[in-house]
Structure 1
Amino acid sequence: MHDIKETIHEVIFAVLPIACVVILMQFTIIWLPMETFLQFLAGLVMVTLGLMFFLVGVQVGLLPVGEMIGSALPRTGKASLVIIFGFILGFVVTVAEPDVRVLAIQVDIVSDGQIGKNLLIYTVALGVAFFVGLAMLRIILNIPITYLLVGGYGAVFLMASFTPAHFIPISFDAGGVTTGPMTVPFILALGVGVASVLRGKTASSDGFGLVALASIGPILAVMLLGVFFT
């Protein structure tokens, strides 16, 4: 019960500043039509309630399940299963990520349907999935994350020289939207669970860094899409 109250307070204090700023601008500068302003207030209420339910759901379901799955996979004794399921979970969680869908819809609208939203969603999801699988391999082999980050971003800047200009900003935005409220809790919990079993609780910090790696995947994937799309 205490956690629920704390979540409600967090959401209210997170939403309150933007609500105050928009309301202040409404009655001083912009003077939106009253119908539009009322739609904003209704949307604000729905967003607040949705965030409350979502964050409670993350604490009750996503985090514990993600860590339990991460703990159970290494006990099978098969590294390939850890990597394969890391790939699968990275893909399906990204497909469910609301931020990815918002980006895909905007790109679909701006490109007049040339870059379909489903194409972009699945491209981003494949990029995340590949790098989550790579992150699982890193935990298993105890590879320093610095090497993978330097190599990954080196590949990003190399690919940028071959990618059409209009795809570069989309690719970096794709990397940003994968750090949303659905993907981050699950992937972090998964990594901590895997690391805690393979090298004990004291090494559970090895489970962190998955989000940094996972955000490289969609950047490269969208850049590749741009190269082949044109």
Structure 2
Amino acid sequence: MDNVRDTFKEVAAAILPVTTVVILLQLIFIRIPFEALIQFLIGVSFVSVGFFLFLIGVNAGLLPIGEMIGRKLPSTKKVGFIIATGFLLGLVVTIAEPDVRILAKQIEETSEGTVSAPTLIWSVSLGLAIFVALAMIRTIFRIPLHYLLIGGYTLVFLLSFFVPKDFIAISFDAGGVTTGPMAVPFILALGIGVASVLRLETENSGEKFGLIGLASIGPILAVMLLGVLFR
């Protein structure tokens, strides 16, 4: 019951400010048609219910199962299996990520079908999956995060000189949309689970985190490489 109450407060805190601002703008400045305002309020209602149910599902299912998988993986003592599992889970949760699909659809429309939505979705998903696998390697072998971040973003900026300008903008948006409500809870819980079993918390609790920041480099590089192919 406490979880339901707290989730309701989170949803209200997220949705009410946006709704209030839009209504104030409508009353003072915009004066959009009344029908459009009604559609907005109906949409807010649907979003509120969906957001509430989603957060309940995340807390009840995604976070616990992600952390449980992360805790069980090291017990196999198979480095390759742990890395492959991280890759596979990173791939499937990104394919399911709503933000990625929205971006892919918009890119397909603005490019008039030159870059299809499935192509972009698979490129972004593979990019993130590869870097989730790299994050697993970093956790297992305790590689300092800043080495990988410096190397990753150095490669991003070097590659940007060979990529069409439109794809540079798209690539950084792709890195952002992968940090959405589907991928983040599951991948973060997975990383925390693996790190906890490897007892990294006794040395540096910060080693449990940084996975999402590292993984988001993958989609940027993937879309840039896609831009080179479409050049």
> TM tier, shorter chain?
over 0.9
The code of the aligned residue for 1:33 comes to P
> For each residue in 1:41-99, what CA deviation from the matched residue of structure 2 results, as whole angstroms up to 9, or x when unmatched?
11000011111000111100000000000111110010000000000000001011111
**1:204, distance to aligned residue in structure 2 (A):** 5.0
Q: Give 1:114's aligned residue.
A: 114
Q: Which residue of 2 aligns with 1:209?
A: 210
In 1, Cα distance between equivalents of 2:210 and 2:200: 17
Distance between the aligned counterparts of 1:201 and 1:22, measured in 2? 44
For 1:20, give the aligned amino acid: T
1:26 paired residue number: 26
> What are the within-5 Å matches in structure 2 for residues 1-230 of structure 1?
1-199=1-199, 201-202=201-202, 203=204, 205-230=206-231
Contact 1:193 1:204 in 2 (8 A): no
4+ residue runs of structure 1 moved beyond 2 angstroms? Answer: 199-205
SS at match of 2:114: coil
RMSD over aligned Cα atoms: 1.0
Letter matched to residue 171 of structure 2:
S
Distance in 2, Cα, partners of 1:5 & 1:114? 47
> Contact (CA 8 Å) 1:195, 1:205: kept in 2 or not?
no
TM-score, reference length from structure 2: 0.97
TM-score, L = length of structure 1: 0.97
**Percentage of pairs with the same residue:** 58
Equivalent-residue separation in structure 2 for 1:222 and 1:66 (angstroms):
27
Residues 201, 207 of structure 2: 8 Å contact kept: no
Q: What secondary structure sits across from 1:75 in the alignment?
A: helix
Using the TM superposition, give the Cα deviation of residue 24 of structure 1 relative to its aligned residue in structure 2, in angstroms.
1.0
On the 8 A contact 1:192/1:204 being kept in 2, the answer is: no
Deviation at 1:205, TM superposition (A): 3.5
Offset at residue 201 of structure 1 (A): 4.4
Which residue type is aligned with residue 207 of structure 1?
Answer: K
Aligned-pair CA distance for 1:200:
5.2
Q: Residue 185 of structure 1 aligns to which amino acid in structure 2? A: P
Q: 5+ residue gaps in structure 2? A: none
* Counterpart Cα distance in 2 of 1:68 and 1:10: 25
Q: Is the 8 A contact 1:192 1:205 kept in 2?
A: no
Question: Compared with structure 1, are the counterparts of its residues 162 and 138 closer, same or farther at alpha carbon in structure 2 (3 Å cutoff)?
Answer: same
Query: Matches of 1:56 and 1:201 in 2, distance apart?
Result: 28
Question: Tell me, which stretches of 5 or more residues in structure 1 are unaligned?
Answer: none
Aligned partner of 1:142: which letter? R
Deviation at 1:28, TM superposition (A): 1.8
Give the Cα separation in 2 of the matches to 1:201 and 1:139: 12
Give the whole-Å Cα distance in 1 for the aligned partners of 2:3 and 2:33.
39
Whether the aligned pair in 1 keeps the contact of 2:138 and 2:144 (CA below 8 Å) is yes
Checking the alignment, whether the CA contact within 8 Å between 2:96 and 2:182 is kept in structure 1 is: yes
Query: How far, CA to CA, are the matches of 1:131 and 1:200 in structure 2?
Result: 20
